[in-house]
């Protein structure tokens, strides 16, 4: 599933391509009913009717969620889930069977972006596109309960959060109500660099060690954003370009490979319902 750096990269790609443009038409005949949700307050209007004619005013991110702010006080809230992608392609390009939603835009002067179409492609069809009035958006349970952003929480606040909510640290980092935006990739990498075993309790490491972990989380996320994310599965940006942070992974997806610090083999272990990759020598469970 795309994590904070990948979703931020998509948000930046959308700002470069559709920000300021006006939606002319929306086609979603291939999208399964579960892929699209409209607030009850907007019904019985259809998804395409509500979007047509609206201007893209802003594009933001919160955790793993994308928000396309529209004129008239509406927001298109997108969660890419496992395999959701946005692609900016020529309108003449053949439609793929997994192009679930297609957005056409009104011409804008002599812009080189004219004649292009935004497509939401999702071969596993878990992604969600929701349309809500702005004043309802953050009352939705999936957003109201989100934890702090890694770039917004201070080291002192992070230590206090870990002390107040003791639990195994790897599942905690994956919990979006604990910290918003992390998934398996960056949780594994952060714990590896901080030398913390993924089964340790959040209140077990010293203040200095938790402060170090906080620093690694922010450093790795910044680096991954700079490198346009991690492409270890199907993730690519809006322009179809893959990220390159996978070249720097030290724990995640490295099961059986030697640890670059001590030479021990990286192990993969199921913790809770998710996998964790770590070095058993560098990240000892004390």
Q: How far apart are CA 257 and CA 188, in angstroms?
A: 15
224 located within any domain: yes
Domain shared by 90 and 192, yes or no:
no
State the pTM of this model.
0.95
End residue of a domain, out of 144, 172, 188? 144
Mean pLDDT score of the chain = 96
The catalytic residue positions are 2-3, 64, 274
Domain shared by 11 and 60, yes or no:
yes
Domain shared by 25 and 127, yes or no:
yes
Q: What is the pLDDT of residues 188-204, one digit of tens each?
A: 999 999 999 999 999 99
Domain shared by 166 and 258, yes or no:
yes
For the record, the structure tokens of 262 come out as: 């001590």
End residue of a domain, out of 144, 174, 193? 144
**For residue 8, what are the domain limits?**
4-144
Domain shared by 85 and 200, yes or no:
no
The number of domains in the chain is 2
Q: How far apart are CA 19 and CA 68, in angstroms?
A: 9
Determine the pLDDT at residue 201.
97
Which letter, b or e, does each residue of 14-45 get, where b requires 16 or more Cβ atoms within 10 Å of its Cβ? beebbeebbbeebbbeebeeebbebbeebeee
Query: pLDDT category, 123, cuts 50, 70, 90?
Result: very high
CA distances from 176 to 24, 238, 250, 259 (A): 35, 25, 24, 29
CATH code, 71: 3.20.190.10
Domain shared by 98 and 201, yes or no:
no
284 located within any domain: no
């Amino acid at each position: 599933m795309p994590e904070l750096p990948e979703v931020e990269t998509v948000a930046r790609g959308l700002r470069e391509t559709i920000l300021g443009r006006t939606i002319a038409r929306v086609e979603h005949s291939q999208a399964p009913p579960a892929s699209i949700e409209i607030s009850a307050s907007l019904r019985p209007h259809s998804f395409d009717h509500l979007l047509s004619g609206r201007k893209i005013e802003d594009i933001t991110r919160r955790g793993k969620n994308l928000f396309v702010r529209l004129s008239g006080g509406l927001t298109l809230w997108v969660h890419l889930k496992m395999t959701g992608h946005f692609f900016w392609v020529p309108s003449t390009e053949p439609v793929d069977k997994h192009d679930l939603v297609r957005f056409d835009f009104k011409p804008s002067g002599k812009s080189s972006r004219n004649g292009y179409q935004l497509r939401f492609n999702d071969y596993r069809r878990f992604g969600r596109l929701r349309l809500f009035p702005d004043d309802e958006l953050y009352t939705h349970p999936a957003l109201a309960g989100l934890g702090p952003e890694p770039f917004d929480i201070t080291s002192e606040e992070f230590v206090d959060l870990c002390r107040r909510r003791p639990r195994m640290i790897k599942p905690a980092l994956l919990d979006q109500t604990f910290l918003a935006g992390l998934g398996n990739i960056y949780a594994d990498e952060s714990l590896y660099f901080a030398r913390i075993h993924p089964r340790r309790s959040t209140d077990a490491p010293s203040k200095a060690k938790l402060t170090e972990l906080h620093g690694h989380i922010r450093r790795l996320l910044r680096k991954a954003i700079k490198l346009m994310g991690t492409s270890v599965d199907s993730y690519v940006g809006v322009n179809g370009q893959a990220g390159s942070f996978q070249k720097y992974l030290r724990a995640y997806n490295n099961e059986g490979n030697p640890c670059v610090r001590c030479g021990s083999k990286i192990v993969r272990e199921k913790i809770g319902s998710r996998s964790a990759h770590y070095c058993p020598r560098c990240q000892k469970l004390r």
